Structure 1
């Protein structure tokens, strides 16, 4: 799935206060619902899994996932929530919020079901979240709801932007929850990454980088690759080649000098590394120069 294609459509955005004894009977949604518990408690069942929702909890209901909601106790439930499509479709404005199980739906309603893109990578999100800092999420959600309901000019575009901020925050928090070992070493890892960005013209070795991160060599390599998608040495190589591409395209410096500038000891080593990463020799980029 290409995240660049993300184009959300917000169908409903409400900050409701619900009285005790209120409930939503079992239903299947056409779209997604993101529900935040700000005040009160709630019992939520999703696909036979029962959750006791408390303030700060977030629930994500996905298309075709049968669920029910019931207020717990005597305190009113405040539940800011939104219904949305992750990807705009021509029928997005026509689709309604479902309050029925799938067996009671018409053929037209069956055609409204969205694909469940949130249960597979790159999202792969659970139904229930407990965040380390729910107040950041709460502010983003309430800002979105406020903007949606004010109806100002260009509000639909503004709401899309706010949703993307909210969505990325949720994805990152889930990523940190799943990779707490990376999060706890994030400062050291980014320190090493910045060092590599600024020392593209120097040779580096794992021993020095691991020492900088105050980690063992093997543990450092594993964490760096998990955090940034490549080993530290390969990342450094990519930084050097990106800098070389910039110099090739936007200056007239000879390739032999560029090779030296980005830390290669010979034009042959430079050309070999360049072609390995880019699939073409450095002379190709020089020939593309306008």
Structure 2
């Protein structure tokens, strides 16, 4: 493990805080995802293996590690999240939307998979949690500020966060995960939904017929293992895809609604606001300002 430490030069792509009460996180990302649990408890399902997450835990997920995260506590789950590459690459640095997997982003860079065998979770010592939080909040401020030394500061703080994780690896015992019941069926279902969310006729019966199990059994597995209905997961995927299209800013909201499986703008707007707290037009306005800032930086 020590060899990579001599050459690593992180490129930070996203710094964010996510607060959620149910399903959270993307299905798959092309870069590393550093996640610190600031509040709450959750289940992290990583390639079908379930880990119990609690306050003070750090998860480090390498590129293309399939994952589902759901809150299991009464209080909202608060995650401090950093998306980063281990090494700067000019082409990869232009990739902004972390869950946008396509022919270009799915290419595996061998040097980016160095940490793929690292145990994914550690418990941070209480004494270190305040320090990590300070470093992360500074990182978020730097990420949002438009200053000439932004990339260098982000790189430096990212190395510090990696240091917390590696130190935790040395100090804590590995917590065994458990294989998720029916994961093969769940994974097949998720893959089918990811490939067919644009179909407005997509429903539980169609999905279960494709997977090869009864609708009732599939619904039971989703509710038992993910604590979410199939319909709710389809909605989640559609809204996440809509957010990606809105951020790109290349299509009208009506076109986006149609492309993510809604028959018209009205049910799309209702679903979008229920999931995000913003109307599609409000979400567009927020991200149009972010795009403007990014263009000015470039």
TM-score, normalization by structure 1: 0.52
2:257 corresponds in structure 1 to: none
1:13 corresponds in structure 2 to: 15
2:269 corresponds in structure 1 to: none
- Is the 1:31–1:85 Cα contact (8 Å) retained in structure 2? yes
2:226 corresponds in structure 1 to: none
- Which runs of 5 or more structure 1 residues have no equivalent in the other structure? 179-290
Q: What is the 5 A alignment of 1:37-56? A: 37-56=37-56
- Is the 2:58–2:165 Cα contact (8 Å) retained in structure 1? no
- Deviation at 1:155? 1.3
- The SS at the match of 2:12 is strand
Are 2:145 and 1:150 equivalent residues in the alignment?
yes
- The SS at the match of 1:65 is coil
| Cα distance between partner residues in 2 of 1:82 and 1:75 | 22
| Cα distance between partner residues in 2 of 1:10 and 1:174 | 22
| Cα distance between partner residues in 1 of 2:151 and 2:108 | 21
- Is the 1:83–1:97 Cα contact (8 Å) retained in structure 2? no
After superposition, the C-alpha distances for 1:181-235 in whole angstroms (9 at most, x for unaligned) are xxxxxxxxxxxxxxxxxxxxxxxxxxxxxxxxxxxxxxxxxxxxxxxxxxxxxxx
1:128 corresponds in structure 2 to: 121
- The SS at the match of 1:107 is coil
Name which of 103, 124, 142 aligns with 1:107.
103
| Cα distance between partner residues in 2 of 1:157 and 1:150 | 13
| Cα distance between partner residues in 2 of 1:41 and 1:78 | 9
Q: What is the 5 A alignment of 1:248-287? A: none
| Cα distance between partner residues in 2 of 1:66 and 1:166 | 22
After superposition, the C-alpha distances for 1:71-118 in whole angstroms (9 at most, x for unaligned) are 223322211110000111121222244447xxxx43223226663111
- Deviation at 1:13? 0.3
- The SS at the match of 2:104 is helix
| Cα distance between partner residues in 2 of 1:56 and 1:147 | 23
Q: What is the 5 A alignment of 1:48-127? A: 48-99=48-99, 105-111=101-107, 115-119=112-116, 125-127=118-120
* Structure with max Cα Rg: 1
1:173 corresponds in structure 2 to: 168
Are 2:132 and 1:164 equivalent residues in the alignment?
no
| Cα distance between partner residues in 2 of 1:76 and 1:64 | 26
- Is the 2:16–2:140 Cα contact (8 Å) retained in structure 1? yes
The RMSD of aligned alpha carbons is 2.5
| Cα distance between partner residues in 1 of 2:160 and 2:25 | 29
- Which runs of 5 or more structure 2 residues have no equivalent in the other structure? 174-298
- The SS at the match of 2:171 is helix
- Deviation at 1:12? 0.2
- Is the 1:30–1:97 Cα contact (8 Å) retained in structure 2? no
| Cα distance between partner residues in 1 of 2:40 and 2:75 | 5
